[in-house]
Amino acid sequence: MAKLKILEYPDPRLRTRAKKVEKVDDNLRQLIDDMFETMYAAPGIGLAATQVNVHQRILVADVSDDQSQPVVLINPEITVLDENNRLGMYEGCLSLPGLRGWVERPASIKITAWNEKGEKIDFSLEGFPAVVIQHECDHLDGILYVDRIEDTTKFAFED
Ligand code: NI
């Protein structure tokens, strides 16, 4: 395994729209292992391939306290289940170290994706995990959470 370098804002490569993964193979699984190592070392709870300068639609996440819930999503697609049910929180990002900004997003989503074996998976998420996955999916489209901050008085250094 190897730790990868995380691109930091305002690196223009963070604005790249990632391409769909055509085939899940051992090279891709190696990348996924390296992304987990990089995310856990940071430490972080989510990392998109875009952030390590690989422009393919892959993300990893783990919202647990003890690295017990690793999630890999390849070619993820999100369907919002209830537009009116929104959750706001101060988001952070490994590509914007030391900063937090208030973003509101849909609180319940359905996801379809491939797993690390290339199998199709789908599941629903609510609350904090749903926010994390939306944040990571945004990276694959070159979008950063700062683009979604509506109230700039709620953008601050971490305390
Ligand atoms: Ni991020």
Q: Ligand 1: distance of its center to the CA of 118 in Å?
A: 24
Please state the rounded mean pLDDT for residues 66-72.
98
Q: Which pair of structure tokens corresponds to residue 90?
A: 């101060």
- Sorting pLDDT into bands at 50, 70 and 90, what band is 1? confident
- pLDDT (0 to 100) of residue 52: 98
Q: Ligand 1: distance of its center to the CA of 130 in Å?
A: 14
Q: Ligand 1: distance of its center to the CA of 75 in Å?
A: 17
Residue 66 phi, psi dihedral angles, 5° rounding: -130, 30
- pLDDT (0 to 100) of residue 115: 98
For the chain, what is the mean pLDDT? Answer: 97
- Sorting pLDDT into bands at 50, 70 and 90, what band is 158? confident
Q: Ligand 1: distance of its center to the CA of 39 in Å?
A: 11
- pLDDT (0 to 100) of residue 45: 98
Please state the rounded mean pLDDT for residues 104-112.
98
Q: Ligand 1: distance of its center to the CA of 143 in Å?
A: 9
Q: If you ran DSSP here, which 8-state letter would residue 132 be given?
A: H
- pLDDT (0 to 100) of residue 39: 98
Q: Which pair of structure tokens corresponds to residue 125?
A: 């998420």
* CA 145 to each of CA 4, 26, 102, 148, 155: distance values in angstroms, whole numbers, following the listed order: 22, 31, 9, 5, 11
pLDDT exceeds cutoff 80 at 75: yes
Instruction: Please say whether the dihedral angle defined by the alpha carbons of residues 123, 120, 113 and 117, taken in this order, is positive or negative.
Output: positive
Lowest mean per-residue pLDDT among 52-61, 132-141, 148-157: 148-157
Residues whose CB falls within 8 Å of the CB of residue 155, separated by 6 or more in sequence, listed in order: 99, 100, 101, 102, 146, 149
Catalytic residues, by residue number, are: 136
- At position 14, the amino acid (one-letter code) is L
- pLDDT (0 to 100) of residue 17: 98
